[in-house]
């Protein structure tokens, strides 16, 4: 049920320079929407509440990288230097960046920027990073944050949001004052950053930093930023890109709310995104931003309630809203247990965390919580739980104009998810270099191929990204003797066809033409896929086709190899085995039924099934590739024979199509995770000692998320397809 939000007053725009009061007009209470639902697990009562509003979006974004250059960074400083340069290179020309280095007293200074990230600005920053990012002495955070404030004042404006990213591998070691004074100064400066409209995020590397202190810095700055841990320096670039993506999905609003159920009282309140966090007690919360346009939270209750009252202010505007509560789904109830389990681990209660997660059906997460003994395991697991509710869709949040999700895989995904998209592949835009086969009845369009892209796929071993499409063709009829009639009138048909977009890590299709919906058109323009002439994008016209250029996009996002995403790999591998077993049982059932069911009662498909023969005299091209495969071992899928035994021919065919579609999606998601993990050299899966088999392949075992995995690598020569 939606909240009804009467407006009781207006918001004053006077007062301190807080982020909410600085950034434009207040949110009207009439624009606030919320829903609530009731749940119960054992003797626990709770409500799931979402408060949605159109928060303020900044016109200008400025990122200040604060890089620790203390002596302990000596072994990885070259990686930090290069990753910072790569990060700058990915930014759009309308963004602003500055880079600060810090170490001991008197050594914190801005080495580059603030500058606009056009070509000249990026070159200036890259030269400064290459020259100035080197090791110095010990670590003082307060002076680094003071420099951040000074930098922010240089480009401050009413429509600017500053994203401060503090990266460190150690604890504060001041020499001019005590540690307690250093922490007091740093926390005070974090509060000042919030007053200046800054979002502070912190990245802790390795195991020698103080996680509690970094969490307090983020909290004192308003909890709009995130605190993240990386165990290997290879994850630095992906992590700062991830922080940037979070800030891009955050809009700004000051919410001070009280939840009051009609029976009993409210207790703790937990936010789920962008990080799991307890944000209130006694049903009272105060937050300063909305992630993806909403605040999603669980409110613990003392008893069974039928409605909940929400009252307080949003940007100083009083609101009072009441909603009747519907019953939660079982999945949302499990989410509540996941949130409680994550919070329990984050406050140091491993046993409670494991019990709650096991109750939620998360055996892998429960095992991680119970067995995280070392500092590294505890910090990696804590980082996993903080981000447990982020990026739970396909992979990530889909195509974005900038950042790690601006990639080819997401662009293809956007095309296949757009119901209005029709793809036109020019005749010379795709080359088949392997054994060529064709059906002599099929006549291709000499001007190119018209495709309806319906699925994206990959290969279980190779670095391929493919699309499955319905291709428009004309088919010659057969005469009375069953032979091709070359003079007959061709019929308009469609055939299924796979196309390599990336083959063996090399881009095969760089561009195409497509008609699309207005929403996808805007996404492609923002992401630079549709460029127009002289850098000016064309206007959208329904039914028009547009040139789509994928040259500037990486194949996939390296962030898909991070802990939060990679944790989904084992469930995907298990689901794949279940789907394969069900598909096998369905195929056997359909085969048995076709032997007794008349053809007219079988699958009435309009799709032409070509009978292809090899075309002779075509040179066969080959390529060599390093292959890698991740497999789950000692997992036995259930027997689906009895489950499908009662299905008729129509139901069995429908179900096998659903299973095949899901199987393709599961394999694609898992394969993209593997490619990202391999590309980043991820060490999240603890692969064991390599063993070379008699076939020249190298195998490595691992136990990950309660499953036994095997990684197999080898090099092989393939024919192009």
Question: Residue 126: helix, strand or coil by DSSP?
Answer: helix
> Cα separation of 634 and 277, whole Å?
37
- CA torsion sign for 547, 548, 550, 553 is positive
The whole-number pLDDT of residue 449 equals 67
More confidently predicted of 664 and 438: 664
Identify each DSSP E strand in 103-224 by its residue range.
109-116, 160-168, 198-205
Lowest mean pLDDT among 225-239, 546-560, 609-623, 639-653: 609-623
pLDDT (tens digit, 9 = 90+) per residue, 495-537?
Answer: 888 888 888 888 888 888 888 888 889 889 988 899 877 777 7
* Domain 60-248 class, CATH top level: alpha beta
- Residues of the chain within CATH 3.40.50.410 domain(s) are 60-248
Confirm whether pTM is higher than 0.95: no
Over residues 99-128, the mean pLDDT reads 92
- Residues of the chain within CATH 2.60.40 domain(s) are 19-56+253-386
**Comparing C-alpha atoms, which of 434, 431, 430 is closest to residue 619?**
434
More confidently predicted of 428 and 214: 214
User: Would you place residue 364 in the very low, low, confident or very high pLDDT band (cuts 50, 70, 90)?
Assistant: low
Over residues 276-297, the mean pLDDT reads 90
Q: What is the dihedral of CA 507, 512, 516, 520, to 10 degrees?
A: 40
Question: Residue 9: helix, strand or coil by DSSP?
Answer: coil
pLDDT (tens digit, 9 = 90+) per residue, 304-328?
Answer: 888 888 888 888 888 887 877 777 7
pLDDT (tens digit, 9 = 90+) per residue, 177-213?
Answer: 999 999 999 999 999 998 888 999 999 998 899 999 9
The whole-number pLDDT of residue 711 equals 95
Could you tell me the CA-to-CA distances from 172 to 70, 110, 201, 677, 713 in Å, in that order? Answer: 10, 20, 17, 33, 43
pLDDT (tens digit, 9 = 90+) per residue, 148-166?
Answer: 999 988 876 667 889 999 9
> Cα separation of 324 and 261, whole Å?
10
> Cα separation of 23 and 21, whole Å?
6
The whole-number pLDDT of residue 14 equals 28
Q: Which residues are CB-contacts of 483 (< 8 A; sequence separation ≥ 6)?
A: none
Q: Which segments of 595-625 does DSSP mark as H helices, in order?
A: none
- By DSSP bridging, strand 60-68 and strand 96-102 are parallel
More confidently predicted of 12 and 461: 461
CATH of domain 19-56+253-386: 2.60.40
The whole-number pLDDT of residue 643 equals 82
Q: Which residues are CB-contacts of 668 (< 8 A; sequence separation ≥ 6)?
A: 456, 457, 458
Q: What is the dihedral of CA 389, 390, 395, 401, to 10 degrees?
A: 160
> Cα separation of 147 and 154, whole Å?
11
Could you tell me the CA-to-CA distances from 580 to 465, 597, 628, 639, 656 in Å, in that order? Answer: 21, 25, 21, 11, 10
Chain position carrying tokens 């492609």 = 524
Residue 564's φ and ψ, nearest 5 degrees, are: -60, -40
> Cα separation of 114 and 64, whole Å?
8
- Which structure tokens are listed for 697? 């392949």
- Which structure tokens are listed for 145? 């944050």
Query: Any idea what DSSP says for residue 533?
Result: B
């Amino acid at each position: 049920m939606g909240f009804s939000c009467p407006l009781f007053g207006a918001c004053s725009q006077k007062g301190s320079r807080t982020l909410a009061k600085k950034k434009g007009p207040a949110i009207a209470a009439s624009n606030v929407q919320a829903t609530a639902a009731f749940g119960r697990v054992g003797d626990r009562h709770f409500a799931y509440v979402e408060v949605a509003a159109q928060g303020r979006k900044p016109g200008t974004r400025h990122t200040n990288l604060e890089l620790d250059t203390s002596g302990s960074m000596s072994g990885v400083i070259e990686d930090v230097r290069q990753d910072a340069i790569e990060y700058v290179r990915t930014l759009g020309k309308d963004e602003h960046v500055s880079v600060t280095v810090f170490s001991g007293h008197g050594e914190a200074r801005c080495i580059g920027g603030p500058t606009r990230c056009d070509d000249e600005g990026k070159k200036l920053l890259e030269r400064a990073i290459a020259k100035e990012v080197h090791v110095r002495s010990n670590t003082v955070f307060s002076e680094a944050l003071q420099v951040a404030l000074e930098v922010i004042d240089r480009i401050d404006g009413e429509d600017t949001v500053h994203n401060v990213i503090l990266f460190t591998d150690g604890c504060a070691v001041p020499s001019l004052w005590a540690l307690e004074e250093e922490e007091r100064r740093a926390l005070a400066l974090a509060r000042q950053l919030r007053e200046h409209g800054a979002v502070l995020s912190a990245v802790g590397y390795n195991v020698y930093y103080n996680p509690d202190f970094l969490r307090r810095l983020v909290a004192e700055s308003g909890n709009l930023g995130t605190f993240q841990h990386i165990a290997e320096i290879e994850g630095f670039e992906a992590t700062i890109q991830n922080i940037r993506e979070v800030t891009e999905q955050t809009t700004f609003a000051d919410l001070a709310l009280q939840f009051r159920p009609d029976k009993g009282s409210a207790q703790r309140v937990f936010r789920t995104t962008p990080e799991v966090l307890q944000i209130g007690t006694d049903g009272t919360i105060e937050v300063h931003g909305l992630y993806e346009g909403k605040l999603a939270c669980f409110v613990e209750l003392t008893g069974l309630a039928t409605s909940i009252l929400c009252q307080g202010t949003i940007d100083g505007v009083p609101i009072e809203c009441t909603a009747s509560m519907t019953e939660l789904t079982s999945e949302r109830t499990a989410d509540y247990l996941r949130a409680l389990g994550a919070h329990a681990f984050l406050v140091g209660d491993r046993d409670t965390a494991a019990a709650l997660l096991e109750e939620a059906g998360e055996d892998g997460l429960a095992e991680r919580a119970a067995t995280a003994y070392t500092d590294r395991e505890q910090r990696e697991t804590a980082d996993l739980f903080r981000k447990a509710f982020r990026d739970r869709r396909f992979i990530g949040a889909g195509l974005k104009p900038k950042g790690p999700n601006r990639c080819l895989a997401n662009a293809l995904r956007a095309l296949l998810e757009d119901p209005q998209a029709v793809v036109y592949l020019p005749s010379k835009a795709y080359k088949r270099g392997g054994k060529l086969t064709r059906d002599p009845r099929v006549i291709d369009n000499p001007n190119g191929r018209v495709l309806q892209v319906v699925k994206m796929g990959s290969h279980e071993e190779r670095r391929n990204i493919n699309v499955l499409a319905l291709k428009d063709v004309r088919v010659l009829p057969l005469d009375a003797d069953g032979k091709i009639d070359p003079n007959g009138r061709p019929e308009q048909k469609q055939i299924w066809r796979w196309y390599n977009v990336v083959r063996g890590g090399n881009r095969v299709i760089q561009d195409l033409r497509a008609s699309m919906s207005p929403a996808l058109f805007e996404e492609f323009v923002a992401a630079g896929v549709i460029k127009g002439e002289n850098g000016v994008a064309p206007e959208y016209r329904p039914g028009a086709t547009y040139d789509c250029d994928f040259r500037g996009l990486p194949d996939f996002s390296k962030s898909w190899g991070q802990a939060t995403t990679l944790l989904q790999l084992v469930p995907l591998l298990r689901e794949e085995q279940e789907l394969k077993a069900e598909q096998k049982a369905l195929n056997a059932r359909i085969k048995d039924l076709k032997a007794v069911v008349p053809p007219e009662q079988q699958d009435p498909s309009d799709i032409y099934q070509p009978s292809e023969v090899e075309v002779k005299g075509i040179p066969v091209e080959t390529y060599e590739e390093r292959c890698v495969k991740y497999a789950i071992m000692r997992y036995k899928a259930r027997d689906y024979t009895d489950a499908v035994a009662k299905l008729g021919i129509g139901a069995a065919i429908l179900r096998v199509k659903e299973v095949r579609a899901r199987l393709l999606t599961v394999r694609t998601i898992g394969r993209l995770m593997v490619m990202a993990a391999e590309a980043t050299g991820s060490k999240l899966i603890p692969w064991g000692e390599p063993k070379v088999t008699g076939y020249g392949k190298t195998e490595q075992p691992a136990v990950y998320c309660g499953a036994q995995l095997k990684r197999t690598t080898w090099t092989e020569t393939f024919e192009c397809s």
